[in-house]
């Protein structure tokens, strides 16, 4: 397992020297992402804004004609995925926010009413289709190579996922009040993880990391044990994320990055 996937021990205990603020700057929106190169990304309507915190360089990409960006996946900073739900399209950008190829029409791939899309470590991407009520995997050549059974056959009718992410060759699909459905790389259902956390979450190693009610929490995937991660004091926290040995804190219209001293 890669070391940057592990949660540093200092995040469960107060660092002896406290926290050091290594970056602070404006937050264009409250919808933000982070990657393992210490970059920040903000979704602001039809724009994605990238802030390289090491240099404070700012990049931007937007297309008014494509409509608002519904979500982004920056797990591969060299192949950033943008999902435009209103137009049922996907777009890939490179690390400079330049197009890697033209927009991908999910309708032309046979998928109508896509509601969730996320990247795969294999270079392709996953789609949850509301009409088909299943997850579908497309490889780098845009071939439909794997698809799950109908989700309602697992969870019952009236269930709609709200978040999806891939980690360690497994797909995590969150359905409120039901839990997180876990699938393998072939879209085969494995189990349901009991979960009552935030709508968006991170999967780091064997932990699910999420922010809820002013706390950054860690839930063990196997045991379900929940631990609270230490956050810098005296800072109003509206959202938080963890990336490597960094804690990202959104406070109002500012965002700050901290490390342990």
- Greater model confidence, 12 or 214: 214
> Is residue 190 scored above 60 in pLDDT?
yes
| Domain count of the fold of the chain | 1
CA 155 from chain center: how many Å?
23
pLDDT at residue 55 tops 60: yes
Q: Is the pLDDT of residue 15 over 70?
A: no
pLDDT of residue 139: 97
Task: Give the rounded percent of residues in the chain with a pLDDT score beyond 90.
Answer: 80
pLDDT at 3: 39
CB-CB contact of 67 with 55 (8 Å): no
Compute how many other C-beta atoms are within 10 angstroms of the C-beta atom of residue 29: 13
Is the overall model pTM greater than 0.75, yes or no?
A: yes
CATH number of the CATH domain containing 168: 2.120.10.30
Pairing label, strands 32-34, 144-147: unpaired
pLDDT band at 5 (very low <50, low <70, confident <90, very high): very low
What is the span of the domain harbouring residue 45? 3-260
Q: What are the tens digits of pLDDT across the range 89-109?
A: 999 999 999 999 999 999 999
Averaged pLDDT, 54-77: 94
Mean of per-residue pLDDT scores for the chain:
91
């Amino acid at each position: 397992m890669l070391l940057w996937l592990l949660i540093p021990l200092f995040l469960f205990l107060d660092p002896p020297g406290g926290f050091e603020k290594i970056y602070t700057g404006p937050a264009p929106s409250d919808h933000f992402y982070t990657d393992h190169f210490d970059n920040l990304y903000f979704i602001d309507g039809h724009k994605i804004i990238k802030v390289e915190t090491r240099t404070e360089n700012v990049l931007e990409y937007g297309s008014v004609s494509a409509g608002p960006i519904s979500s982004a996946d920056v797990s591969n900073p060299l192949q950033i995925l943008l999902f435009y739900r209103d137009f049922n399209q996907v777009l890939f950008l490179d690390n400079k926010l330049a197009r890697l190829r033209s927009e991908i029409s999910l309708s032309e791939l046979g998928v109508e009413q896509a509601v969730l899309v996320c990247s795969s470590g294999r270079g392709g991407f996953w789609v949850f289709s509301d009409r088909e009520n299943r997850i579908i995997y497309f490889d780098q050549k845009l071939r439909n190579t794997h698809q799950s059974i109908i989700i309602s056959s697992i969870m019952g009718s009236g269930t709609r996922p709200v978040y999806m992410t891939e980690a360690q060759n497994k797909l995590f699909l969150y359905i409120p009040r039901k839990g997180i459905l876990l699938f393998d790389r072939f879209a085969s259902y494995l189990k349901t993880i009991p979960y009552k956390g935030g709508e968006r979450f991170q999967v780091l190693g064997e932990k699910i990391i999420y922010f809820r009610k002013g706390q950054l929490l860690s839930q063990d995937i196997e045991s379900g044990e929940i631990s609270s991660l230490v956050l810098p004091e005296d800072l109003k926290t509206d959202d938080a994320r963890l990336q490597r040995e960094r804690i990202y804190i959104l406070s109002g219209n500012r965002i700050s990055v901290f490390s342990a001293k």
